[in-house]
Amino acid sequence: MRKLVDAFLSMHNFPVRLNVSAVTDAVLYDMEAGLCKKGIAAGEEMIHTFALPPEKKPANENVIVIDAGGTNFRSCLVTFDSNGKPSISEMEKTSMPGVAKELSKKEFFDQFATNLEHLKNKATKIGFCFSYPMQITADGDGILNGFSKEVKAPEVVGCKIGECLSEALVAHGWKRPEKISLINDTVAALLAGASRSGTGFDYSSYIGFILGTGMNIAYIQPETDYMKRQIVVCESGKFNKLVDSDFDRELDSHTTAPGTFRLEKKCSGAYLGTVAYYIIKAACEEGLFSESVAKALSTLNSLTLIDMDKFLHAPLCTETPLGKLLGDAKASADDYTTLFMLFDAVVERSARYSAAILAAAVIKSGQGKDPVRPVCIVCNGTTFYKTHAIRDRVAGYLEEILTAQRSLYFHLVSVDDDITVGTAISGLV
């Protein structure tokens, strides 16, 4: 069965157990090309943030926090006490503007202001986690380069997000905010990791990693002859030194921005289920399943990561949608094994690519050479933590690529409310 599945995937240019070390080298080249603008054009944008983690924890401060990314829009008030301990209040969650339908620029920011009505004038500073490609400006604002994750608001591209939000809030009766600081979720995760200092480890550097609806990384770039030491956002989902399978091309053709975010479409939760759907569709047509199972699977019009993941966690359970479908179709043992291997190949590829971009970020940081001072990698995202085997596989590949091969040390950590706390910190520095 393994040979059959491998042959099928290879015939469609889907990588079977790709070489993580080789991908790491390719990502390192792309990162350097993006930083110094030399050599083959980079896919990753390598966005300068002009920022570093604060030397001291904020204290006795209030800040409004906005987290806009993926499918959700969250907002709350964060208060730091005299010891720098944060508390979160007045949290509200709604849908991200521009996901359900296309919005004009005015409609987009008016919806933001409406979503923030419960926080009107409760703080003078706003930390804004806007998880889309931006060019960060020296004043802490962000110019949107383009949307990902299927958000539809084309008039917003090229706008200064903080400035436009400030105008919308004033129009909705707010006092003009003193400061709106734009970051993305990877920087927020990184800053939340830096706030863990004094917890028993003296971390040598920090990385923020997101693998959820989308994927991205931020790390601290050492000073070079062409830039000062600062946090850099890689926009790793745009990495393009890779091969597209037939299934990737099919998925890409149905997205709002074909040809872009090629790595994100191979790894993140927004796309894994759809890639698997096209794989299963082809497998049914090409005889990998018994006739009854192929007929049953061919009735599917779509496939979600949730349903795929339920099958991977409990393939013989008849209470899951796919488990029931196979049970009703009198699936053979080979049918179950084939479906599991095909789904697992999608997850495995995501884990290997994720490990490669993480390994490259650790190497690029120049830190982690002492096991007592490892690099702190703050990981965020339901795809990373909940999808079958991804977290364990990423950890295993990193152990091999970084520690066994290069004597570099790291900690994969989770931080409670990392995006909220990190965004609050950004609004105060």
Instruction: Kindly report, residue by residue over 254-301, the tens digit of the pLDDT.
Output: 998 899 999 999 999 999 999 999 999 999 999 999 999 999 999 999
Beta-bridged to residue 79, according to DSSP, are: 62, 87
- The mean pLDDT value of the chain amounts to 94
CB 108 within 8 A of CB 153: yes
Distance CA 236, CA 357 (A): 7
Taking the whole predicted model, whether its pTM rises above 0.85 is answered as: yes
Q: Give residue 193's identity as a one-letter amino acid code.
A: G
DSSP state of 174: P
Q: Is the pLDDT of residue 175 over 60?
A: yes
Q: Which of 92-101, 202-211, 272-281, 399-408 has the lowest mean pLDDT?
A: 92-101
Distance, in Å, from the CA atom of 92 to the CA atom of 17, rounded to the nearest integer, reads 42
Q: Which residues of 146-177 are buried (b: 16+ CB within 10 A; e: fewer)?
A: bbbbbbebbebeebbbbbbbbebbeeeebeeb
- Mark out the alpha helices in 133-271 (DSSP H runs): 161-171, 185-194, 246-253, 264-267
Average pLDDT over residues 387-410: 98
List of residues 6+ apart from 157 with CB closer than 8 A: 144, 145, 146, 147
